[in-house]
Amino acid sequence: MSRSPTPLSPAVLSIILMLGAVTLFSAGHGLVRYASTELHPFQISFLRSFFGLLFVLPLIMKGPDYSDLRVKLPKLHLIRGATSSIATLAWFTAVATMPLGEAVALNFTAPLFATILAAIFLHEVVRAKRWAATLVGFMGVMIVIRPGVETVQLGALLALGSAMLISVNVLMIRVMAQVDSARAIVTSFNLFLTIFTLIPAIFVWENPSLTMIGITFGIGALTTLAHLMLTRAMRLAEASAVIPLDFVRLPVSALIGYIWFVEVPDLWTIVGALIIGVSAIYIARNEAMAGRKKTTS
């Protein structure tokens, strides 16, 4: 008598999904770096957005009732689409022009910026430990870019700018989620991202080869699938348990950079990246735990 396989517990399944998501994100970023050898980052951004929209469209349009697609904050959706597009353009340019592991490390500063912006614009109470973690995280940034010791690269500034815009988007999602459905938020995001990234892509457009079409389709599919896996992981387990696994993006991205592009990070970059990553994970985990306490109180 053969035994049927024991189903995975939600906690184990969430870990597997989260690890899969960060691996797909890292692979997608590696493909962006590879595609930049032939295509401009602006064109890659549009193609990724377009193919990502095609990939997710069947999921967005699923169901007979589309009333929840109507948005109540159209101006905020428009602003989010514009800022997300700028963040994507900046991020893809950073990935194309600097070591992959270093770019991902600087991208981890998004929770640090979110802490500052939430205190200023949402008037959230930020306690001393969170401010301390934010300060330590930005010390890690200084270690990575080392201003005054080395020339600060444009790619580093773009990666930091992208992270700051990502944190702005997080704050806007918090506001939109109060009145609009998740499907409406996802739909407007993908539509606006495709439209807004098309505008700069037109000015640098070159007919992509079949290989590049396949690669950019892969970027769109991988990153969209990663987003879906991340969302599913968050539903199966508490965010405070899942979020720390995002730290795996750092070594995976560094490994991809080493294997695909022979990029070897120096000691200071590794130290700074670890400081940024630990600070970001600490802040994100504390925020998730605080959110859980609010829902249970």
pLDDT for 282: 86
Residue 244 · residue 111 · CB < 8 Å: no
Structure tokens at 109: 């500063």
**DSSP 8-state symbol, 244:** G
Residue with the bigger pLDDT between 210 and 175: it is 210
pLDDT for 216: 96
Helix (H), strand (E), coil (C) string for 130-181:
HHHHHHHHHHHHHHHHCECCECCCHHHHHHHHHHHHHHHHHHHHHHHCCCCC
pLDDT for 237: 74
Average pLDDT, the chain: 87
CA dihedral 99, 101, 103, 108 (to 10 degrees): -170
Burial, 3: exposed, middle or buried (Cβ in 10 Å; 0-12, 13-18, 19+)? exposed
**DSSP 8-state symbol, 64:** S
Contact partners, residue 148, CB within 8 Å, separation at least 6:
none
pLDDT for 149: 58
Burial, 124: exposed, middle or buried (Cβ in 10 Å; 0-12, 13-18, 19+)? middle
Q: Which amino acid would we find at residue 115?
A: T
pLDDT for 125: 81
Find tokens 């959706």 and name the residue: 77
Q: Give the dihedral sign, CA 246/250/253/259.
A: negative
Q: What is the mean pLDDT of residues 182-188?
A: 85
Q: Is the pLDDT of residue 290 over 70?
A: no
Other beta carbons within 10 angstroms of residue 13's beta carbon come to 15
Q: Is the pLDDT of residue 6 over 70?
A: no
Q: Which amino acid would we find at residue 295?
A: T
Q: What is the mean pLDDT of residues 86-100?
A: 94
Question: How does residue 1 score in pLDDT terms, banded at 50, 70 and 90?
Answer: very low
Integer Cα distance of 24 and 43 in angstroms: 21
Residue 117 · residue 167 · CB < 8 Å: yes
Contact partners, residue 96, CB within 8 Å, separation at least 6:
32, 33, 36, 41, 44, 155
Q: Give the dihedral sign, CA 74/75/76/81.
A: positive
Residue with the bigger pLDDT between 70 and 88: it is 88
Q: What is the mean pLDDT of residues 18-47?
A: 95
Domain boundaries, the chain: 10-296
pTM of this prediction?
0.87
Residue 130 · residue 286 · CB < 8 Å: yes
